[in-house]
């Protein structure tokens, strides 16, 4: 993932109990006077997202010494204070869809998808056929805003060009998603592109090499991309290359809703892996190494553990005023691209 995947490339500290691996990946962190510390990170166990952890599921260490929860006042804040999540649904409305009678099933499945994902994210819907440009159907909405009206228009949609400009649509979808995210002022931007198609690229407006180059562009590296394919014309290899985070295949239109539901499950699970942990550090001066450990109860009754570490500088920390762990965070994206020693250098400049 561009900035995000660069951040996630930082090697985590991993705990393994009974062959269960827990990974904590720091995405961003910040410190502010009087003595606030915020860490935004993800938690996965055996490669799967871990939702529902509470503040007391984490232990905070500074310089290998446990920080008392009574002193730190540690809380898990709402991740939406720092992060925004956008999902774009890109629907193939070429002649093979509109003339086969599949439009109704597609709209019904898309409605259920947007209702679910839209509860926690901003969702937009675009359509494509063989034309050069994709069609805006529903703009990025505030969470939980209904999108049924825009989707209903697709039931009677007639393509201007019955061919399939799949490659061009993917390239434009990435551009539109990135543009929308950049308008949001929150520092952590998480995007998802979901592409539905019943075939392969027939229009040849954009080459396969060009779409693969776009997918490899670091600017879009932080995006999760899923594909949903239906019908006999699907080239599974091409679809998998686009859907780098998952591909769902439906043999006929009766399975379209299930395919959309499976992708919605994955998106919901991915969103729940993020945590924003806030606490008040007891440190008042100098450089320090923070270690956050997660304790996850397993079926065996023995907890699995994982941790992350990073460094910060506490010069001139301390009240007054009193530290409030519920204070809204203020993140800098560039700071976390540095190695831990540079983290310390950056924090001294505040």
| Closest by CA position to 328, among listed 88, 123, 69, 30 | 30
Helix/strand/coil percentages in the chain, nearest 5? 35, 30, 35
- Statement: residue 180 has pLDDT above 60: yes
- Statement: residue 340 has pLDDT above 90: no
Domains and CATH numbers, the chain: 2-67+281-348 (no CATH), 83-271 (3.40.50.410)
> ∠ at Cα 30 (27, 36), nearest 5°?
135
**pLDDT score for 236:** 87
- Give mean pLDDT, residues 133-148: 79
Of all residues in the chain, what percent carry a pLDDT higher than 90?
69
**pLDDT score for 142:** 64
**pLDDT score for 252:** 77
Q: Check if the beta carbon of residue 323 is closer than 8 Å to that of residue 35.
A: yes
Question: Where is pLDDT greater, at 232 or 341?
Answer: 232
Q: Rounded CA gap, 307 and 196, in Å?
A: 38
Q: Rounded CA gap, 88 and 117, in Å?
A: 10
- Statement: residue 144 has pLDDT above 60: no
**pLDDT score for 52:** 93
Distances (CA, A) of 251 to 29, 155, 254, 256: 45, 21, 8, 8
- Give mean pLDDT, residues 274-302: 91
pLDDT interval class at 188 (50, 70, 90): confident
pLDDT (tens digit, 9 = 90+) per residue, 49-108? 999 999 999 999 999 999 999 999 999 999 988 889 999 999 999 998 999 888 999 999
**pLDDT score for 169:** 98
Whole-angstrom Cα Rg for the chain: 23
> ∠ at Cα 346 (342, 349), nearest 5°?
150
Q: Is the dihedral of CA 331, 77, 276, 175 positive or negative?
A: negative
- Statement: residue 333 has pLDDT above 70: no
């Amino acid at each position: 993932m561009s900035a995000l995947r660069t951040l996630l490339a930082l090697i985590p500290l991993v705990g393994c109990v009974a062959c269960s691996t827990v990974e904590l990946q720091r995405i961003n962190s910040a410190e502010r006077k009087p003595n606030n510390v915020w860490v935004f990170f993800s938690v996965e166990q055996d490669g799967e997202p871990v939702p529902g952890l509470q503040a007391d599921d984490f232990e905070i260490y500074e310089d290998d010494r446990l920080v008392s929860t009574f002193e730190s006042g540690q809380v898990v804040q709402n991740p939406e204070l720092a992060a925004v999540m956008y999902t774009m649904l890109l629907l193939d409305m070429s002649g093979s869809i509109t003339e086969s009678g599949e439009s109704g099933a597609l709209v019904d499945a898309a409605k259920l998808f947007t209702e679910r994902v839209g509860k926690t994210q901003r969702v937009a819907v675009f359509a494509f056929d063989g034309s050069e440009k994709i069609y805006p159907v529903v703009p990025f909405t505030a969470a939980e805003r209904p999108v049924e009206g825009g989707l209903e228009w697709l039931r009677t949609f007639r393509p201007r060009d019955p061919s399939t400009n799949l490659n061009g649509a993917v390239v434009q979808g990435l551009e539109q998603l990135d543009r929308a995210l950049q308008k949001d002022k929150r520092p952590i931007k998480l995007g998802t592109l979901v592409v539905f198609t019943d075939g392969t690229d027939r229009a040849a407006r954009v080459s396969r090499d060009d779409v693969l180059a776009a997918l490899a562009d670091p600017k879009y590296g932080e995006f999760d991309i899923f594909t949903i394919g239906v019908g006999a014309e699907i080239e599974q290899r091409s679809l998998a290359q686009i859907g780098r985070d998952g591909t769902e295949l439906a043999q006929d239109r009766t399975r379209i809703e299930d395919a959309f539901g499976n992708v919605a499950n994955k998106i919901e699970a991915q969103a729940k892996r993020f945590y924003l942990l806030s606490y008040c550090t007891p440190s008042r001066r100098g450089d320090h190494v923070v270690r956050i450990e997660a304790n996850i109860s397993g079926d065996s009754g023995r907890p699995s553990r994982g941790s992350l570490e990073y460094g910060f500088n506490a010069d001139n920390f301390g009240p007054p005023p009193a530290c409030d762990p519920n204070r809204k965070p203020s993140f800098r994206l560039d700071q976390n691209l540095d190695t831990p020693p540079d983290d310390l250098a950056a924090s001294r400049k505040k």
